[in-house]
Structure 1
Amino acid sequence: MRHKVYTRKHILNAAYDLIEKNGFSNFTARNVAAQMGVSTQPIYLEFENMEDLKQSLIESIMDELTQKVFSVEHTGDKLFDISINYIEFAQKKPRLFMAMYLDEKGGGSIMYDRSYQFFKETILQQEEYKDLTEQYIEALFHATWITLTGLAALMISKVVVPTRQQIIAIIEQSVNAILESNYEENTFGDIKK
């Protein structure tokens, strides 16, 4: 009996390396297998199909981001820390950032939903945000998400190069605009596709 050499983890690591270099545009079993130097057989032994591999990969990356990247403290304010970490992730791993957050074939709604859950759980741990309603939390998420994603994309392309203090000021303006407004439930509505 042959001993299994390529585990689920090996395949996920190869898939990660592939999308970190090329995004999801060439995310095929053949390309993942080539990254590993094997046939496609181990992939289909571990995963039902390529969509199963893709969903597993996205979940794995999001788990890593929430545990090791987005939770790093900088300022003591969890909302600002998440925001800074998101921008820094985009700067350190621009191709992975674009694949996960900007590529229409990428993480899409999974990344959006998981990012919102992490955002909500994290900021509710902070005294100044713990009494916010669900609508305010959603509005804060949308305001910071849209602002930060735009800022990260502009920074990746070197259109703007703000300092950390300038980034914090931009975040603060977005947060204050929501917190100081008479927020109405339909301000953002359901902005997801």
Structure 2
Amino acid sequence: MDSKSILIARDDKFYDSILTILSSSQSIFVFSQCLNIIKEFGIQKQVSIQPNLPISIPRGNNNEYLLFHSDSFVKDLSQDIKPERIKLDLRSVDKPIDYERSGLVQMPDLGFIRKSIIQGAFIQFYELNKPPEKLLNWSEKWKFAWLIRNAFAHGGVVNWTDDRICEVSWDSFSFTRSTDNGREIIFNNFGEADIIILLTQL
């Protein structure tokens, strides 16, 4: 299994956006634990929630995921402190993760609340940091971010608004106007971990 660490420092321009995404993920994860316990034992049962389990955040290609150790992260947030740095491990796998055997926790399903939080975090970062030049002069990764931002603003569906651009590519992803316009890609082909990794490269 290959692994590569991604360190996100508090002064990185994408820090707040990724902090928001991971905070929403962690909060929903803990909340889902509480609901499951209530369903199983009822509200009278006192139990300990374990927020420090390593959480896997999938990429759209299904061969990689981000591993997020959230224990110190949650401790800082509980004291209203922004973590000094966020560490994520990008890992590749040959086959789907067996969560029962691995000791990892899979992120809960992306409900509409988390989708809205992630969408807002990405769009805000994009609008505050997009290049001042005209779109045609942007780098390939920023043109790709333009497409992702437009898809976010249209419910995850590609909305190709500029016919002067025929194709955008980043990492292992490539979308074309002729084949992908009108197709839903966010949280489908393009996963939550891809959003985080893209933010670190913009």
Question: Which band: TM-score by shorter chain?
Answer: under 0.3
For normalisation by structure 2, the TM-score amounts to 0.26
Report the structure number with the largest CA radius of gyration.
1
The structure with the greater share of residues assigned to strand is: 2
The structure with the greater share of residues assigned to helix is: 1
Higher RCO, 1 or 2 (CA under 8 Å, sep at least 6)? 2
